[in-house]
Amino acid sequence: MRNPIIVALDVPNAEQAITLADQVAPAVGAFKIGKELFTAVGPDIVRRIRATGASVFLDLKFHDIPNTVAKAVASAVRLDVQMVTIHTSGGPAMMRAAEESAQKTALQLGRPAPLVLGVTVLTSMDGNELAAIGCDSNVGRHVERLAKLAMDCGLRGLVCSPLEIAALRQIIPAHAQLVTPGIRTGSEKADDQKRTLTPKEAMDAGASWLVIGRPIYAADNPRESAEKILASLT
């Protein structure tokens, strides 16, 4: 079985990121580098994590005009990441440009194209927030609309909340990959994640990958925590 655990390296500097990655690498499938770490230390952290042989999910959620997003995705492909995120609300032309750029640049470099993952509605947004920006105030309906659009535009995966997995599996092709944060085992301290599933529940619902941050990096023993989560999936 492929290891579906992606550990979020939500730490402020390169040293902490490398230490954490070294600690948990044998028990996980990939690492997510997000805005905090990337903005603090730059693309070199991607190269350093890739140099350990680990896969990287670059979670910068690009949202801009198609030309700019295509160039940003090309830069991500040159960094040799395996997954990259864009906002589906950037629209069809932007999504198509991102996917085309991933395929074209990867072909030029002779490597597999990274998965360009679409982010639908941020889980921090509720119906009132959606209505305030002029969207359908029904969150589930808006997520489904953006998910279908992303598939029509050629994206091969989406980021979604654990509670959206089952509904999305009904409307997207079986080969589409779903990457899911909001995973909690039940044994960690309460935090800002409100709507969670356990790792096993999320996989059973149809997740392809689990993004896990605090349950691993804030544990007393991150390696042991990752191993326990992996064991819980079988």
Q: Which stretch binds ligand C5P (CB under 6 A): 89-97, 103-111, 147-155, 206-214?
A: 206-214
Question: Which residue number, 59 or 80, has a Cβ lying nearer to ligand C5P?
Answer: 59
Question: Which residue number, 103 or 140, has a Cβ lying nearer to ligand C5P?
Answer: 140
Residues 117-156 that bind ligand C5P (CB under 6 A): 122-123
Question: Which residue number, 141 or 194, has a Cβ lying nearer to ligand C5P?
Answer: 194
Q: How far is the CB of 53 from ligand C5P (least distance, A)?
A: 22
Q: Which runs of consecutive H residues, i.e. helices, occur in 125-189?
A: 127-132, 139-152, 165-171
Residue 193 touching ligand C5P (CB under 6 A): yes
Beta strands 157-159 and 177-180 are parallel
Residue 24 touching ligand C5P (CB under 6 A): no
Question: Which residue number, 113 or 197, has a Cβ lying nearer to ligand C5P?
Answer: 197
Site string for ligand C5P, 208-227 (x = CB under 6 A): ---xxxxx------------
Candidate residues 4, 29, 34, 206; the one interacting with ligand C5P per rule CB under 6 A: 34
Closest CA to 203 of 172, 176, 234, 228: 234
From residue 223, give the alpha-carbon distance in Å to each of 25, 201, 216, 218. Answer: 8, 21, 7, 11
Question: Which residue number, 38 or 78, has a Cβ lying nearer to ligand C5P?
Answer: 38
Q: How many residues bind ligand C5P (CB under 6 A)?
A: 15
Indicate the DSSP class of residue 37.
Answer: H
From residue 191, give the alpha-carbon distance in Å to each of 57, 93, 122, 142, 218. Answer: 23, 37, 17, 26, 11
Residue 162 touching ligand C5P (CB under 6 A): no
Q: Is 214 helix (H, G, I), strand (E, B) or coil?
A: helix
The secondary structure of 103-137 as a DSSP string is: HHHHHHHTSPPPEEEEE-S-TT--HHHHHHTTS-S
The catalytic position among 32, 61, 71, 194 is: 61
| 61 in catalytic set | yes
- CA dist 192 and 127 (Å) reads 19
Q: How far is the CB of 164 from ligand C5P (least distance, A)?
A: 10
- CA dist 105 and 35 (Å) reads 23
Looking at the annotation, which residues are catalytic? 61
